[in-house]
Amino acid sequence: QVFFSPAFGIILPETLVKWILEDRLDVRLNLQMHKYIYGSDRRGI
């Protein structure tokens, strides 16, 4: 299995999803949900 994860603040998840769908890639999307819940500045979560 291959997992793709957007780099927070570098590539938007929407951009990555669009690329995955357009190219019909057999991958899994991984989101770091804590970055969206707590923000990117918080450490140790």
Res 41 pLDDT > 80 = no
Cα dihedral angle (33, 38, 44, 45), rounded to 10 degrees?
A: -40
Q: Could you write out the DSSP letters of every residue in the chain?
A: --EE-PPTTTS-HHHHHHHHHHTT---EE---HHHHHH-SS----
Domain ranges of the chain: 3-38
Give the range among 17-21, 31-35, 38-42 with minimum mean pLDDT.
Answer: 38-42
Looking at per-residue pLDDT, the higher value among 28 and 35 belongs to 28
- Give the mean pLDDT of 21-41: 88
For the question of whether the overall pTM of this predicted structure is more than 0.75, the answer is no
pLDDT value at 39 more than 90: no
